[in-house]
Amino acid sequence: MVRDLDHALKHVSLRAPAPRFERPRPPRGVFTSQQGFMRALGVGAVLLVAVLPFMDASRYTMSIATSALIYVMLCMGLNVVVGYAGLLDLGYIAFFAVGAYISGIFTTVLGWPMWAALIATIVACVTAGIIIGAPTLRLRSDYLAIVTLGFGEIIRITANNLKITGGPSGIHGIPTWSFGPWSFDDGFNLFGIDFPERVVFYYFVAAVVIVVGVIGAGRLAKGRLGRAWKAVRDDEDAAEAMGINTYIAKISAYIIGAVWAGMAGQLMATHLSAISPNSFQFLYSALILMAVVLGGMGSTPGVIIGALFVSLAPELLRDFAEWRYLIFGVLLVVVMLFRPSGLWPATAVLPWLRRTRPTPPAFTEATAVPASVMESVDGTPTTDAHEGDRA
């Protein structure tokens, strides 16, 4: 028997077999890799944003384009909170309100320049994020949703009631960006192209902030913190067991969401130069959530598409404006029921790069263990039935 086994093992190589197929190099290039394509898409989008004012710099186009960009900023911020960290924030517009009001108050009442107000805004939003997040983030996710909803209403009602926020009529005459003696109102001449409209400047400021915001949020999501967020989202207990401080992860997501919204709020305040509590209703929190869910939670291109859809659709389709909230509500349900990962899911792979798992090599005579080996190992002759089972 022992001699038989030795005899049998003579045929079995103890070295690892050479790979059957050469290991493929990770593909590069625009159309041959996911990463390359997404980068190209990003560069294309940035170029489009940069070129738009040179194609159509009318006040109307610039105005809705700026609003759309601000929506993108807001949605990217909410995407950090909802998409990456899995915390449902229904009062997200509150941070937008904090940003808008802080910059409005600091520039009109205190007379600070806009760049200083920007710093104040960020500080205020971090503070607001901690104040709202610290007590609530220990709660279960559905409690968190309703508490944030309550906070959103508290901020709006407070803005409506206080004197310093201008009460129901809000703040007017928020000044534009100014650097020393020169402000956006003065106009500018660049390479022979005249920029008389301050609207165009807001557009550029918004564009720069939003491009930085989008890239920043996307890169945060890929880093250590981002992976912690996703782990917490997928299974909080498991994440904690893996050594992630879930509370810190959640509150940092919350603070980053707050800062993004606050910057969007400041952009909005300077863009419109007037703000009022009515712009910060729950409706808008729900709209931003709608954009994130529709586009795909946790997916940068999806969220941008969602934001553009939610902000531009009522402008482009006037008949749609009347029905939009009803349609958005139905869409929210339908998307959750039938495509919970959204239009452009975070895990999407370009269709032409999609590969199925390589099929294992077919069972052939060459790969089969020789029949004689089988015979001698288990001591019984292999039968045809055996072969049939394995094939």
Partner 1 sequence: MMQLIWNGLIVGSFYALVALGYSMVYGIIKLLNFAHGDIYMLGAFVGFFTLSAFGISNETSIPLLLVVLLLSMVTTGLIGVGIERIAYRPLRRSPRLAVLITAIGVSFTLEYGVRQIFGPNPEAFPIRLESSGFDVLGMRVTASQIVLVVIAAVLMLVLAHIVERTRQGRAMRAIALDPTGAQLMGVNVDRVIAMVFFIGSALAGAAGVMAGAYYGSIDFLMGFIIGLKAFTAAVIGGIGNLYGAMLGGVLLGMLESFGSAWFGGEWRDVFAFGFLILFLTLKPTGLLGARVVERM
Smaller CB separation from partner 1, 151 or 229: 151
Smaller CB separation from partner 1, 200 or 251: 251
Counting residues that bind partner 1 (by CB under 8 A) gives 41
Answer for the pair 260, 74: CB distance below 8 angstroms, yes or no. yes
Give the single-character DSSP code of 23. P
Q: How far is the CB of 122 from partner 1 (least distance, A)?
A: 24
Q: What span, in angstroms and rounded, lies between the C-alpha atoms of 109 and 278?
A: 21
Site string for partner 1, 71-100 (x = CB under 8 A): -----------x---x-x-x----------
- Residue for token digits 């009318």? 58
Locate 309 and state its tokens: 């859809």
Q: What span, in angstroms and rounded, lies between the C-alpha atoms of 375 and 280?
A: 79
Interaction of residue 339 with partner 1, rule CB under 8 A = no
CA distances for 273 relative to 110, 206, 265, 268, 288, angstroms: 16, 14, 11, 8, 22
Smaller CB separation from partner 1, 49 or 80: 80
Interaction of residue 242 with partner 1, rule CB under 8 A = no
Give the residue, chosen from 64, 332, 348, 377, that forms a contact with partner 1 under the rule CB under 8 A.
332
Answer for the pair 144, 137: CB distance below 8 angstroms, yes or no. yes
Smaller CB separation from partner 1, 191 or 338: 338
Question: Largest Cα–Cα distance in the chain?
Answer: 99
Give the residue, chosen from 37, 113, 153, 374, that forms a contact with partner 1 under the rule CB under 8 A.
153
> Binding segment for partner 1 among 15-23, 151-159, 266-274, 298-306 (CB under 8 A)?
151-159
Q: What span, in angstroms and rounded, lies between the C-alpha atoms of 175 and 274?
A: 10
Interaction of residue 179 with partner 1, rule CB under 8 A = no
Instruction: Please spell the DSSP secondary structure of 268-334, one letter per residue.
Output: HHHHHS-B-GGGGSHHHHHHHHHHHHHH-TT-HHHHHHHHHHHHHHHHH-HHHHHHHHHHHHHHHHH
Give the residue, chosen from 70, 118, 231, 286, that forms a contact with partner 1 under the rule CB under 8 A.
286
Give the residue, chosen from 60, 143, 179, 363, that forms a contact with partner 1 under the rule CB under 8 A.
143
> Binding segment for partner 1 among 22-30, 265-273, 317-325, 382-390 (CB under 8 A)?
317-325
Answer for the pair 96, 280: CB distance below 8 angstroms, yes or no. yes
Contacts of 276 (CB under 8 A, 6+ apart): 166, 168, 169, 170, 171
Q: What b-and-e string marks burial along 53-68, b requiring 16 or more CB atoms within 10 Å of the CB?
A: beeebeeebbbebbbb
Give the residue, chosen from 38, 325, 376, 382, that forms a contact with partner 1 under the rule CB under 8 A.
325
Residues between 13 and 72 with contacts to partner 1, criterion CB under 8 A? none
* Helix (H), strand (E) at residue 99: helix 93-108
> Binding segment for partner 1 among 102-110, 143-151, 303-311, 368-376 (CB under 8 A)?
143-151
Q: What span, in angstroms and rounded, lies between the C-alpha atoms of 68 and 206?
A: 10
Smaller CB separation from partner 1, 65 or 293: 293
- Residue 304 CA, chain-centre distance (Å), reads 8
Interaction of residue 258 with partner 1, rule CB under 8 A = no
Smaller CB separation from partner 1, 50 or 336: 336
Interaction of residue 147 with partner 1, rule CB under 8 A = yes
Interaction of residue 241 with partner 1, rule CB under 8 A = no
Give the residue, chosen from 27, 29, 329, 370, that forms a contact with partner 1 under the rule CB under 8 A.
329
Contact set with partner 1 (CB under 8 A)? 82, 86, 88, 90, 135-136, 139-143, 145-147, 149-151, 153-154, 157-158, 160-161, 237, 282, 286, 289, 293, 322-323, 325-326, 328-333, 336-337, 340
